[in-house]
A and B are shown apart, each in its own frame.
Chain A
């Protein structure tokens, strides 16, 4: 037991990826401007 800014990918690139749809996706980051 999202505004597509992409800051999550910059600090956790193994977990997040900014997609072509301008949204961040989880492929497996308080900093997120939209707290998404």
Chain B
């Protein structure tokens, strides 16, 4: 049987943060992210994709943009996305897997591809992309989002960065032609009808594109909507596609060591705890950069000069034994942490904390004390266990070689109950 790669790896810092001052403890990174003495310093190379998007603006401009987009993540909106756009497509995607039954009667699939298909509708719904409604269009859309994600994280790419930017900007032009332009045109026509009094406000779609054109700011350039839309499409899918394979790999190991827990795959609270551990240990954004607005001395005495760019390394911070206990580097679904969120810094911190966090963790995360949604991770993982997911013993998962991320490139699975 082929050997499987380890679930926990030591990842060297990527080239784009070499030479910067690194911060690796939970406390100092938390202090930097919350501080008003710093501004966004990440995504310098990916400006063609994210320039002046929510991710790269600060201060009043950030407040106004976040205020404009916040309704997309209100409780009612999250419930709609989960129950109307996510859960049905999870079931449909698994149903379509039956077509991949081998001669031995077993259904096989690549989990990395499955996940992007399952998330296609929820990404399209939050962003406002029409026409993701047939298997062919869903496949085309899924492939666009995957490629746009390569551009969005160009800093982490192992390819020539200029070539990646050139290639993905051309892909974005194709995406504009095939999906984006018609989606914008339909919404602008509806907004015009609203302004003419022909339709009511609540007849307008609740999605990013509608919000941007309904509240258009003349300071924006005409390319901003597609940059903001690409950010949403990538952000709506990236954390889940990154984390679910890690979750499955960890639970597979955990069940080997703790066979008494195997029956708990039907317990959504157990899956939620395990998902939080997978999020903590494997970060979709393992490092973020910040620039000091002034000379700063942190609580621990470390100093940062005005305009100095520093790197916050989330992976070691999320394995900080002072916060997560002496076994912080290990996966443990029974871990109890009292002073921080169970996923640590995975969604960032301060004003740039991930706007879509509740899409992933749901509003009933342990620290939310709220009924409502379970989020993408729990819904997808639970459905996979219901379908009898097993890691293919003859074709073990492989990490990606296209980037410095701690991510799987392929994750062959069996679905034994389909």
Contacts and interface: CB of A to CB of B under 8 A. Distances in A.
Contact of A3 (B66, B71, B349, B358): B349
Nearest to B351: A5
Contact of B66 (A4, A33, A35): A33
B337 interface: no
Contact of B34 (A4, A10, A30): A4
B360 to A, nearest CB: 12
A31 B352 CA distance: 12
Interface residues of B, dominant DSSP: helix
Interface in B69-105: 70-71, 73-75
A contact face: mostly helix, strand, loop, or mixed? loop
Contacts of A31: 66-67, 70
Contacts of B253: none
A11 B405 CA distance: 38
A20 to B, nearest CB: 13
Interface in B338-380: 349-353, 355, 357-358, 363, 368
Contact of B67 (A11, A22, A34): A11
B42 to A, nearest CB: 16
B362 to A, nearest CB: 11
Contacts of A11: 67
A7 interface: yes
A30 B67 CA distance: 9
The 5 closest A-B pairs by CB, nearest first: A31-B70, A30-B70, A30-B74, A33-B353, A5-B351
Contacts of B75: 30
